[in-house]
Amino acid sequence: MAKNHRKPLENNDYLAATQTEEITSREYGQPWPDYELLDAGDGKKLERWGKIITIRPEIQADFKPGWSYAQWQDIAHWEFEEQSSIQGRWLNIKPHAPEQWLISYGNLNFGLKLTKFKHVGLFPEQQANWRFIQERVRAGQKILNLFAYTGAASLVARATGAEVVHVDSVRQMITWANENRERSHLSDIKWVLEDALKFAQRELKRGNQYDGIIMDPPAWGLGVKGEKWKLENQLSSLIETAYGLMHPGAFLILNTYSPKVELADLAASAGQYFSANQLEIKQLWMPTKTAKELYCGNLLRAIK
């Protein structure tokens, strides 16, 4: 998608506002006792997960780090080396460093492990949305988590007493999320192994509605049956379907980490269903211990 390629909607002040960088607002995920973004720069980021420190590639870290690479290497346990655009291998820096370990967020416990896709099982910038969920969700409400990965948002919602439906198209992610549920001593999350958009569209046909919908879709990927997925092609359908599934007063959280989906794209798509005073569209960032700031994608929240 070209930048600001869509024609602004008439009388949509929100869309016009999002197209001027000067007034772009930010929200920050915050560190917690078991996670810190220590430093970032030169295309990498240095993170502490409990007692384990990793170095991972990060395309948005296009600035100079606060510490030297030698300092990074001195404290890190693992560094991810890219071997292709989609995968690579982990280099062991500290002998006997574990390949799997546990961390906590409040009363929730997560199993982390080294994967060939550079991920370890948690997207820490989502702490900004976990806070929102904890503040807004009440016991007995129905929450739908689409593209739900290893289940952090599902667990946060379930811990409030909500009924949670967790949808992901990768069986291994469902298994990982269920293990995190067990570690966190929670029960009764409904697991759905299916393409997220297709499931949501069927829920719409069934007349089901929710008090909250959470979506963190990948920029691209494959469905259960190998279907190709590109977020920029599905964005409008995702928002339209989510709107139809929402009770009055329900919330929508939608994260994007795609270079082809900009703030104006989110505003244009969401503006077809939500009024300006129902919408919050901003950038998601994480602060580092060295006073750097790392861009982590775009964020849409809406209240119906």
Instruction: Please give the pLDDT value at position 87.
Output: 92
Asked if residue 87 belongs to a domain, the reply is no
pLDDT computed for residue 234 by the predictor: 86
pTM above 0.85, yes or no: yes
> Which domain covers residue 233, as residue numbers?
13-30+122-303
Report how far residue 212's alpha carbon sits from residue 239's, in angstroms, rounded to the nearest whole number: 13
Quote the pLDDT of residue 296: 96
pLDDT value for 24: 67
HSE, CB side, 13 Å, CA atoms: give it for residue 275: 2
The CA distance from 126 to 182, in Å, is 21
Residue (of 120, 130, 125) closest to 154 by Cα position:
130
Please name which of 252, 250, 181, 243 lies closest in space to residue 214, comparing C-alpha atoms: 252
Q: Domain count of the chain?
A: 1
Tokens encoding 186? 């929670």
Q: Angle 297-303-304 (CA atoms, 0-180°, nearest 5)?
A: 130
In terms of DSSP bridges, do strands 210-215 and 220-222 run parallel, antiparallel, or are they unpaired?
unpaired
- pLDDT digit string, tens, across residues 113-123: 999 999 999 99
pLDDT for the residue 269? 94
Phi-psi map region of 172: left, alpha, beta (phi>0 left; psi -120 to 50 alpha): alpha
Cα angle 229, 230, 232 (rounded to 5 degrees) comes to: 145
| pLDDT tens per residue, range 133-154 | 999 999 999 999 999 999 999 9
**Residue 79 lies inside a defined structural domain of this protein:** no
- Tabulate helix, strand, coil % of the chain (nearest 5): 30, 35, 40
pLDDT tens digits, the chain, 304 residues: what are they?
333 333 333 334 555 554 444 446 999 999 999 999 999 999 999 999 999 999 999 999 999 999 999 999 999 999 999 998 889 999 999 999 999 999 999 999 999 999 999 999 999 999 999 999 999 999 999 999 999 999 999 999 999 999 999 999 999 999 999 999 999 999 999 999 999 999 999 999 999 999 999 999 988 766 656 667 688 888 999 999 999 999 999 999 999 988 888 999 999 999 999 999 999 999 999 999 999 999 999 999 999 9
Q: What is the CATH number of the domain that holds 127?
A: 3.40.50.150
Residue 179 included in any domain: yes
Asked, for residue 88, whether it belongs to a domain, the answer is: no
